[in-house]
A and B are shown apart, each in its own frame.
Chain A
Amino acid sequence: MRSSRGTALTAAALCVAVALICFVSARSFLAMRLPDPVAPAQGFERYNLSHWFPALKGSPGDSDVYIQDSGVPGGTVFIMGGTHPNEPSGYMAAVVYLERAKVTKGRLIVMPFANATAMGHNSPQEASPQYFSLDVDGGTRWFRYGSRATNPVYQWPAPDIYIHAQSGQKLDGGSKSNLNRAYPGVPDDSLTQQVAYGIIQLLNKEKVDLAFDLHEASPEYPVVNAIVAHNRAMELAAMVSMELEMAGIPMRLEPSPVNFRGLSHREWGDHSDALAILMETGNPSQGRLRGKTDAALAVTGKDKAYLKAAALGRLFIPYEGDQTLDLRTARHVTSMKMFMDMLGDVKEGGDVEVEGIPSFDDMMERGIGAFLSPVEDDRFDGK
């Protein structure tokens, strides 16, 4: 029988192999910090969040913000994706508006990747994909699939208990890195709290009338395919919810709880004049029942475990085998358009008119990639 004992040579070879794997893995992991290129539509001007909160200048939380002003007096609408970068329909809906919108009345502000550092890493032990891709005219677009939390490289360690500064509400320590528990923010605290503070400054200084925070949730979570509205936004949200139901795109309406603090739908409405709306679509790739978690799951939502759960009546969305990113994004995009169309009915002088946004049926038929522009992307060198 041959001996399997190693030699100095095999040890050296193993060390080289380990070093190589570490090098490739680290390179791949660090590449996630490179931003996803976007192609803003004509008329958008780029800013950074530090424009409204200068302390963020040069920090990794200084997210891009785009403004398109029609020049015609009207209201101002704010669209924010990427609060939780493992909820891709949120930022894809913001990107569709960024790349397609032609504002003919009022102003549109788009912040596609709100928690910039959360886009740059994955959540540990979730086996999430790093990227997903979409076919667009003349090529492929790549987008990162990030984490729910701010990158711990920039905010570590998490406290044992996170105490919300304004209310004293106590949550698990990890929630301190969750942008949607941080509002209205603290100017001299951790990065997440500073980003939240910057967003509140933006809402106030730009006199935003209507503000969206776009999310996704597990199909087994009750608040899914849903609109959560601040009490001041409830009448408008009720009107939109009814219209969506008529259009065959039901979005359940829920009130923003007054006693659950730090969330956008509560604190934006309490700390600015904006009508605050948070929306959720159903994403199997972040649910607890999912099987293999890869880019295909993020894009198609196909999962046999969810099909079984649906048959057992355990889900809060209709699930017939898939829940595509096209469908989830189209829900957000169409809902926001209806909100904008009706804004002037509840807020005098608040009309915002936006052209160029694809219809729900167009997005379902052709896919959202058909409405995105091709871009140069050094990260993938054309692959």
Chain B
Amino acid sequence: MKIRFSAFLSALAIASTLMAGVSFASDVALTSVGQSPDAMMVKVVLKSLKIVPDYEALMKAEELSGQKVLIAVVGGSSKGLGAAGIDKDQEVARSKALLEKAKADNMKILVMHVGGPGRRGALSDLFISAAVPFADALIIVDKDNTDMDGLFSKLVEGKSIEILSADNVRGTKEPLESVLSSWGVI
């Protein structure tokens, strides 16, 4: 009886560990670069693909824990930076450290800009310039108007990266699914 009870406890422990793995670790890490709420919109799109990412707007490099893909959603928000209690330079430093760690861990990096031309300007451009050079794939909403000055195109020049475009945030579902499928996450 004692042995049976120990076996039951062991089985329970193994099951709990497995379940914990399923429940809490995701293949996809999601963060904001610039603290706009646009990353939350991407989280909603991922939900429609039945992906629950590890989402943290202020994710730090040491918080990456075995995910396969890092999605960095770029867009500056002074309200968001204020809410996080950091300035733009601290945000650039955090983002670069996170992206460098993801590269070092051989993670795939998907950079997304979903705010359209309204999320351009000096503040957003700072974050775009910091994040896009790390991208293995790039998705932009309303590319023709958002990349009107060619900033994105210039940042990926010389790399074999196609800029994928969508009409609106909800429309990013298709390129997102395609990119994540090609990386074996879906």
Contact = CB atoms under 8 A, between A and B. Distances in A.
B41 A253 contact: yes
Contacts of A237: 37, 40
Interface string B9-43: 00000000000000000000000000111101101
Contacts of A355: none
Given A246-B168, A257-B82, A258-B85, 12 more contacts: A222-B78, A234-B40, A237-B40, A241-B41, A242-B41, A242-B44, A242-B168, A246-B170, A252-B115, A253-B37, A253-B38, A260-B82
A255 B44 contact: no
A263 to B, nearest CB: 11
A241 B141 CA distance: 14
Interface string A234-261: 1101110111011000001111111110
B79 interface: yes
Interface string B141-154: 00000000000000
A223 interface: yes
B64 interface: no
Interface string A210-232: 00000000000011000011010
A240 to B, nearest CB: 10
A257 B82 CA distance: 6
Interface string B115-158: 10010000000000000000000000000000000000000000
Interface string B29-62: 0000001111011011100000000000000000
Question: Which secondary structure dominates where chain B touches chain A?
Answer: helix
Contacts of A259: 82-83, 85
Contacts of A235: 40, 43-44
Give chain B's interface residue range (CB within 8 Å of chain A).
20 to 34
A81 B45 CA distance: 32
Contacts of B44: 235, 238-239, 242
Contacts of B92: none
Nearest to A234: B40
Contacts of A228: 79
B41 A254 contact: no
B80 interface: yes
Contacts, number: 61
Contacts of A246: 168, 170
Interface of B: 35-38, 40-41, 43-45, 77-80, 82-83, 85, 115, 118, 168-170
Contacts of B77: 254-255
Interface of A: 222-223, 228-229, 231, 234-235, 237-239, 241-243, 245-246, 252-260, 316
Given A242-B168, A245-B168, A246-B170, A223 B79 contact: yes
Nearest to B171: A246
A208 B51 CA distance: 31
A243 B45 CA distance: 12
B88 to A, nearest CB: 15
Q: Is the interface of A mostly helix, strand, loop or mixed?
A: mixed
Nearest to B77: A254
A123 to B, nearest CB: 25
Contacts of B115: 252
18 contacts: A222-B78, A231-B83, A235-B43, A235-B44, A237-B37, A237-B40, A238-B41, A239-B44, A242-B41, A242-B45, A246-B168, A252-B115, A252-B118, A254-B77, A255-B35, A255-B37, A257-B79, A260-B82
Contacts of A255: 35, 37, 77, 79-80, 83
B48 to A, nearest CB: 10
Contacts of B82: 257, 259-260
A254 B79 contact: yes
Contacts of A222: 78
B46 to A, nearest CB: 11
Which of A229, A254, A256 is packed against the most chain B CB atoms within 10 Å? A254
A253 B83 contact: no
A229 B79 CA distance: 11
Contacts of A253: 37-38, 40-41
Contacts of B118: 252, 316
A257 B35 CA distance: 11
Contacts of B78: 222
A238 B170 contact: no
Nearest to B170: A242
Most buried by A among B36, B41, B85, B115: B41
B37 A234 contact: yes
A6 to B, nearest CB: 61
A227 to B, nearest CB: 9
Contacts of A231: 83
Listed from nearest, the 9 A-B pairs whose CB atoms lie closest are: A238-B40, A257-B83, A257-B82, A238-B41, A253-B37, A242-B169, A254-B79, A245-B168, A255-B83
A234 B78 CA distance: 17
